[in-house]
Amino acid sequence: MAFVSQVKQAMDYLELATKIVQIAFWAIASAVAVLTYRHARRTVLQPIRTEIFKAQLQAMSQIMGLFLGKDELALRREFDFDALFHVNLWRLIDAYAMNFFDVQIDPESRPYNWKDCPMRMGVRDSDNRPSTSHLRQPNQDAPHPKSDPRVRNATWSRYQTEFIYINRKYCEAERNLNTFLENPLLPQRLVGLLTEYRWTAAQNQLLLHEILDAAAPELPEKYTTLEQLERISPDWLWNRYMHDFKNLKPVAAEIVTFIRDYFDPDNLAKSQELTDPSLNRTSGGVPPSPAGQLKR
């Protein structure tokens, strides 16, 4: 009996040892698998991260080129707000001339033609359309009640700007911004700043519409003859527009600051020197990092 008991006890020890070996085996196998995965992740995903960084660097370098070193006037010239103002002012003047002086206008010969202004921004809802009676051609064969000054004044009192004509340079600037906004690699904060910049520019379109609508009732008092209208100086309207113009520079400065902080060129250069011994030189300084190219 003692022998059988010893054999049974030995078998129990053997079974326990087997289980311990199995547990140790699977523990070691799991640890090896985890370490292998972590190593593979560093070696396989690092090139992907590098390519993403390069793509971000390229896109943000292009964005920096739009804003870096440009003052408020330079930023406005990118959209050519001067042209935006003048083409829409001429549209207002032409509408006034057609209404009060029966002037015949060919829209395609004017500054707001489709070639020079390929976009129109509607500023009225369909159920609140402005009067367009001032656009009708005079009927030379029948009595025309519009010749009555009271009728002309009543017609003009209902005038409202239906469209803002968007000049070609503004369209190109907005197209460039939209291209950057469609880039999925840009940080969300940068996308938000670019959207804010685009909206700031768009607010100046809406402001121009308000300025022109407010000026329309003043034209009959200022320009009672066609000769006076032909000598019109737009300075009084331009000054109103510039007084309330939404500046572009504050948002542009935020964009430049964000990109600089995002890449942090100084820290990138230090990190590159520590990880790459070939860059740790005793003289000559540290070669500039790729992000350093973004510095002004």
Nearest residue to 294 (alpha-carbon basis) of 268, 259, 249, 267: 259
Which range is least confidently modeled, 28-37, 73-82, 111-120, 169-178? 28-37
Question: What is d(CA 240, CA 19) in angstroms, rounded to the nearest whole number?
Answer: 88
Nearest CA among 94, 95, 91 for reference residue 116: 91
Whose structure tokens read 């090896």? 32
pLDDT at 143: 43
200, 251 Cβ separation under 8 angstroms? yes
Which pLDDT does position 78 carry in this prediction? 97
pLDDT at 198: 97
Q: Where are the domains of the chain?
A: 1-31, 69-262, 264-294
- For residues 269 and 294, is the Cβ–Cβ distance under 8 A? no
The region of weakest confidence among 56-60, 101-105, 131-135 is: 131-135
Confidence of residue 186 (pLDDT cuts 50, 70, 90): very high
Question: Can you give the pLDDT at residue 288?
Answer: 45
Mean per-residue pLDDT, 23-34 = 68
Residue 283 has pLDDT above 80, yes or no: no
Q: Is the pLDDT of residue 105 over 90?
A: yes
Angle between helices 81-101 and 188-215 (to 10 degrees): 30
14 or 259, higher pLDDT: 259
Instruction: Give residue-wise pLDDT tens across range 50-89.
Output: 888 888 889 999 999 999 999 999 999 999 999 999 999 9
Residue range 118-137: average pLDDT? 55
For the segment 150-165, the average pLDDT, to the nearest whole number, is: 92
Mean predicted confidence (pLDDT) in 108-132: 75
Who has greater pLDDT, 121 or 43? 121
pLDDT at 38 over 70: no
Q: What is the mean pLDDT of the chain?
A: 80
* Rounded Cα–Cα distance for residues 56 and 285 (Å): 26
pLDDT range class, residue 141, cuts 50, 70, 90: very low
Per-residue pLDDT for 112 more than 70?
yes
Give pLDDT, residue 28: 75
- Give the per-residue pLDDT at 244: 97
Instruction: Provide the pLDDT confidence category of residue 95 given band limits of 50, 70 and 90.
Output: very high
Place of tokens 């999925």: 184
